[in-house]
Amino acid sequence: MAEKEGTMDSVATSLKGLCVEQTSPAEAGPSQPSPFTPYASDTFKPQNSDLPLEERYRLARSVGEECIQEDELRRLLAARAHPTCYDGFEPSGRMHIAQGILKAINVNKLTRAGCVFVFWVADWFALLNNKMGGDMKKIQTVGKYFIEIWKACGMNMENVVFLWSSEEINKNANEYWMRVMDVARKNSITRVRRCATIMGREEGDDLSAAQVMYPCMQCADIFYLKADICQLGMDQRKVNMLAREYCDDAKIKRKPVILSHHMLMGLKEGQIKMAKSDPDSAIFMEDTEMDVNRKIKSSFCPPMVVEGNPCLDYVKHIAFGRFETFTIERKEENGGNCTYECYEDLERDYVEGRLHPADLKPALAKCLNQLLDPVRRHFQTNEEAKKLLAQVKKYRATKQLSMHLMC
């Protein structure tokens, strides 16, 4: 049923009020805190960065394979001591190393630069996308499991906040849903469908009505959380650009900076990104040492070739993202041990044939196992974490049995 004209005018007036709260970095003044955010409280005290502005900018910029726009990022860091970064995640299935270790590396860089990092635990979104069979209890259990992994894998939690979308939206339903409606009103179905890739779908897929709502809600999240920086993967670029376009339509001065991180390749030939549906395409955060060694040993790694080489991709973004050096251990007749202090030197030796895949792969596997060992110990020794892992494994076993019976 169509709304009365007066009612829609009232909604538009309310949305005008929401837009007024968006303050540009330049207006905030030097080293000012971000405006009110949903997580603001007397107990949360973000840590200041002791780094000079240029170093803060360098650290933050290094997170993104793409930054829209660099000058906006620099001005933001100059204006605010604690810009708000946001990433949303659907609790579903297993967590691979890009979601775990690479995310921790990026979060640590941004919090070191003084940012507050908000994880939007998108349980309602997982429900919309029919994850975990649409079972909210299972979705929230997996969300808790993901958080336990991040706590164990070296993420600095001082400037990190976890917010559950179901709880936060219910607290401020009027503000949130008016924003969603306004995003929907200002965009065509065609424009929204172009964002289908953020859900792991294709633009031409037959989307449910719930999945059409999804991009409008994700766009609204950015404004609800008053995010200064959208720090998601390149696969989420389309909806982040939708948010910047919406700013023009809604006359919001402060556009969110988009800092899109690199998507790690899958371990098999031709896989431009990892796939949870293929267990051998990625290293998962709960993989055993034997799993890691086997997957890396069988991974695609053509000699003297950089493009499309997942092992070099892991070395560049995971190994050198976390450690200052990377050591190759080999027999003297094969050149002896060699320690690299930067990725560029390693890549040059690999391209020129001085470093062979047979030597690179064991070093990479050893590095990855070193990073995963604290997570393994946490889930072996922490009782709460142990229970969560057992429950998540039970969900997987039930799903696999169901699929088997359907076949």
More confident residue, 80 or 275: 80
| 172-181, 202-211, 349-358: least confident range | 202-211
Residue 118 has pLDDT above 90, yes or no: yes
* 7-44 tens-digit pLDDT: 444 444 444 445 434 444 434 433 444 444 555 555 77
Closest by CA to 142, choosing from 285, 292, 265, 291, is 285
Only one residue has tokens 């936060």, namely 168
| 2-6, 108-112, 224-228, 262-266: least confident range | 2-6
Cis peptide before 231 (omega within 30 of 0): no
Give the pLDDT band of residue 347 (cuts 50, 70, 90).
Answer: very high
Q: Starting from the edge strand earliest in sequence, which strands make up the sheet with 116-121, in order?
A: 66-68, 257-260, 229-230, 84-89, 116-121, 160-164
| 32-36, 312-316, 348-352: least confident range | 32-36
Q: Which residues of 80-100 are buried (b: 16+ CB within 10 A; e: fewer)?
A: bbbbbbbbbbbbbbbbbbbbb
